[in-house]
A and B are shown apart, each in its own frame.
Chain A
Amino acid sequence: MKTIKTCVTALISALLVFSPVAYADKWSDQFPHIKATGDIPGDCSYESMSKKNYKGKTLKINTHAVPVMGEPTALHAEQFAKLTGAKVDVTHTPAGDLYAKAMVPFQAGQAPYDIVFGFSNFINDWRRYLEPVPKKYVEMKQMKDVTPSHIGVASWDGVMYQFPVDGDRHYLKYRKDVIDNPEYQKQYKEATGKELRVPQTWKEYGEMAAYFNNWDWDGDGEKEYGSAEVMKKDDLMYAAFYSRSAAYSKNPKTPGGFFFDLETMKPLINNPGFVEALTDWVEATKYVPPGGINFGLGDEIGSFGGGQTLFSFSWDDAFVAAMQPDSPINNKVGAAQLPGAMKVWNRKTNSWDEGFNQAPFFVWGWAVGVAKKSKEKEMAFDYLCFFANEANHQADIGIGRFGVNPFRNDDFKVDVWTQIGWDKDIAQSYVDTLAQMEQSKNRVFPLRVPGTFEFNAALATAAAKALAGQLSPQAALDEAAKQWEDILNRVGKDNVRKAYAVGVAMEDNKQ
């Protein structure tokens, strides 16, 4: 009797354990994109979506060009159409035009698209035209797993307007096979008297990049270079500059603003901290690959991901691309927090505070919302929920070109990454880096105020002039600060202050 009982228990256990797999296989056969995990049960899983019927309805989406975010949008649109019977029209738009393509019809009171993709720092301008994410989705299990920082990035004054599909921050990527190479460590020590290690400061970053610049250090017969960075004006370069500035300018002793002094609304972007960062960056033009001063994000991903440089820093895409099985530097890269600085500007005392300072930058990421004037809101939110369901999300984050990056607590587990072929220590360094950034109390969040585009464009133009040698770092940032004052006067100081206070509260750990 006991044996029979044991057998029955074992059988039931086996069924319970393996049933999700059998259940998952049913969907992964039809949708090979999720073959690694199969369907994962949830409110917006493949199984749940297959019970919806949107036959005869059309969903219109405006998204980014293929592949970054455009490819997963189209892929999940096709899957969603198969599951629900809906017709899904996807329009692909270059990054620089995403804002205007949604904003023009928004302002005209039209809704040519039910779903609009953009960047999370559009939130202040877009939120009045977007439908808040309904409670039912906010309270779903998959949403509960989103990290508080990314809930914050997708929300405004506690209301979620953007459906989290991506999580972004800037961090350092480096060639582990070089930095950990004892031969190079010895050679570097002899040449410079310094340790070759993961750079702790931007100065160390610059020294190492300069040393490993313009010679063939990986023996592939071609020259390699120090660093690949986004330096092209109007191609997200201002985000790269903020990343370089955070360590010099985000002082935990002086809360109340990184971009502006919240009290006076005086722009801080030309203080000595920012100037030091821009001076470093001008120096960096000497150790980027030829033409590196014109690198946009795609070039940076291709350059570091293709094994051309020792360092890079920006979003996850270059790192994930480098870790894909077909990459020439697969499992030869490491991740770490952005370098810090040995001094940080104190705007209260008007002097440098000596000592190590580090500040992660939570760059805006891809964001998506549903137009308030859309006639298919329910279907639109279902699509977004399906896009970001557990199975799709796990498959998407492993494909560098998709531009879908970790934003859920589960993403910070090593197993998620070892399952897709990453070495355990690399996966560990990656998730540790992301987790440390989440836990940091000295974070910088993107500028999300009315006129964000104008502020960032003014800064990018000034920084680009410095990189091109048209202006000195101080003169360039003085010019940008003057323009920021003009924009403030046009938009209204109080309007900007009110919006900026939301981001400052997050930076000052009050939210």
Chain B
Amino acid sequence: MNFKHKFVFLFPGLFVLIGILIFPIIFTIRLSLSGWNSYTPEMNFIGITNYIRLFTDDPRFWESFFRLSFLSVTTVILQYVIGFALAMMVWREIKFKRFFRVIFLVPMMTTPVIMTVIWRTFFHESLGPVNDLLSGLGVKPILWLSDPVIAKFTVIIVEVWQWTPFMFLLLLAGLLSLPKEPFLAAAIDGASPFRKFVYVTFPLMAPISIGAIIIRLIEASKIMDTVFVLTSGGPGTATETSSFYIYIKGLREFQMGYAATLSFTYLVIMIISLTIIAKVLTKLMIKE
């Protein structure tokens, strides 16, 4: 096979890569340098005006970004802890193991938007069953969606409920693939369950844990549907996340050029921060 033939085989893959990955990114960069909006619907060139606006005059984007960081880190930590606990539970020989494995996966299989509508109904402050239940127990109604602080935790509850099964699934797959020998050795040495977990299970699970956490962080950082349906970013801007803010700028206010600037900046920040997080997690969790 000569050199040219190799290219013939490479072209389809390259073409697809350029079409679905490179072109949209280049187009977004070009769009971010334009002032495309409802009253100037054209790909004009305005240089880095949008970037200057973002870095000097748009605190709302940065607030939404830090809020997103808080929400995604908190939800992923909770999902990891709960998901690991559930995976450990059904990894053992327990009764109805198969039943529990299926049940734990159900939230992930439901449609996020529909489930969020149901959660919103649950948390409805005057008509929802959660406050009714609390009143029955003599607890004052909680402002699940109207208090700026509590609303953030309501979003976290829904996200954790919806996506913990994903973490559970990955971690359970990891547990099932672990070699038996280190556990046998630990048992022979008379290690307690706690020491077995700390010195055997957890270190062995570290690579898959890092993978699961990074995958979930990538997904959690795009949180949009839950916020859109549950709170619309409110009260005020208390639950507004970056993706929701970009949606508002792009498809509500039709500032396409500026929304592209936000999207591209967000992409760059995410690539950098997730790379750093992955490095830090590797350093912390994997001992040479």
Contacts and interface: CB of A to CB of B under 8 A. Distances in A.
B146 to A, nearest CB: 4
Interface of B: 35, 37-39, 41, 57, 60, 124-126, 131, 141, 143-146, 148, 231-238, 248, 251-255
Nearest to B124: A291
13 contacts: A107-B41, A233-B235, A234-B233, A291-B124, A291-B144, A291-B145, A293-B235, A294-B235, A453-B38, A453-B252, A454-B255, A464-B235, A495-B39
Contacts of B141: 290
- 10 pairs of A and B residues whose beta carbons are closest in the complex: A468-B236, A291-B125, A290-B125, A468-B235, A450-B39, A107-B41, A465-B236, A290-B126, A293-B146, A470-B236
Contacts of A470: 148, 236-238
A234 B248 contact: yes
A100 B254 CA distance: 7
B234 A232 contact: yes
Contacts of B125: 289-291
B146 A289 contact: no
B234 A233 contact: yes
Interface in A446-472: 450-451, 453-454, 457, 461, 464-471
Nearest to A453: B253
A491 B39 contact: yes
B226 to A, nearest CB: 15
Contact of B254 (A292, A453, A490): A453
A459 to B, nearest CB: 12
B55 to A, nearest CB: 15
Interface of A: 96-97, 99-100, 103, 107, 125, 232-235, 289-294, 308, 450-451, 453-454, 457, 461, 464-471, 486, 490-491, 495
Given A291-B125, A291-B143, A465-B237, A234 B254 contact: no
Contact of B38 (A103, A308, A465, A466): A103
Contacts of B255: 454
A234 B236 contact: no
B59 to A, nearest CB: 10
Given A232-B232, A291-B124, A465-B236, 18 more contacts: A96-B252, A99-B252, A107-B41, A125-B39, A125-B254, A233-B236, A289-B125, A290-B126, A291-B126, A291-B145, A291-B146, A454-B255, A466-B236, A468-B237, A468-B238, A469-B236, A471-B236, A490-B37
B254 A103 contact: yes
Contact of B236 (A99, A100, A453, A467): A467
Contacts of A467: 235-236
A234 B126 contact: no
A232 B148 CA distance: 13
Nearest to B146: A293
B252 A100 contact: yes
A451 B38 CA distance: 7
Contact of B237 (A308, A451, A461): A461
Contacts of A99: 252, 254
Contacts of B37: 451, 490
Main secondary structure of the interface of A (DSSP, over half): helix
A124 to B, nearest CB: 8
Nearest to A492: B39
A100 B231 CA distance: 21
B30 to A, nearest CB: 16
B66 to A, nearest CB: 14
Contacts of A453: 38, 252-254
Contacts of A233: 232-237
Q: Which of B57, B233, B234, B251 has the most CB of A within 10 A?
A: B234
A475 to B, nearest CB: 12
Contacts of A468: 146, 148, 234-238
A495 B39 CA distance: 10
Contacts of B252: 96, 99-100, 234, 453, 457
Nearest to B35: A490
A467 B143 CA distance: 14
Nearest to B123: A291
Nearest to B238: A468
Contacts of B144: 291
B34 to A, nearest CB: 13
Nearest to A495: B39
B235 to A, nearest CB: 4
Contact of A464 (B124, B237, B253): B237
A83 to B, nearest CB: 36
A215 to B, nearest CB: 14
Nearest to A289: B126
A103 to B, nearest CB: 6
B42 to A, nearest CB: 9
A148 B148 CA distance: 44
B79 to A, nearest CB: 26
Nearest to A122: B38
Contacts of B148: 468-470
Contacts of A292: 126, 146
A100 B251 contact: yes
Nearest to A450: B39
Contacts of B143: 290-291
A450 B35 CA distance: 14
A294 B38 contact: no
B169 to A, nearest CB: 32
A292 B148 CA distance: 14
Contacts of B248: 234, 457
Contacts of B236: 233, 461, 464-471
Contacts of B237: 233, 461, 464-465, 468, 470
A457 B131 CA distance: 32
A490 to B, nearest CB: 7
A247 B60 CA distance: 31
A457 B249 CA distance: 9
A99 B233 CA distance: 20
Contacts of A469: 148, 236
Contacts of B124: 291
Contacts of A457: 248, 252-253
Nearest to B125: A291
Contacts of A100: 251-252, 254
Contacts of A450: 38-39
A451 B35 CA distance: 13
Contact of A486 (B57, B131, B231): B57
B57 A461 contact: no
A290 B131 contact: yes
A457 B255 CA distance: 12
Nearest to B258: A490
A335 B69 CA distance: 48
Contacts of A471: 236
B39 A451 contact: yes
Nearest to A458: B253
A229 to B, nearest CB: 13
B142 to A, nearest CB: 9
Most chain A Cβ neighbours within 10 Å, of B35, B39, B145, B146 = B39
A457 B254 CA distance: 11
A175 B125 CA distance: 23
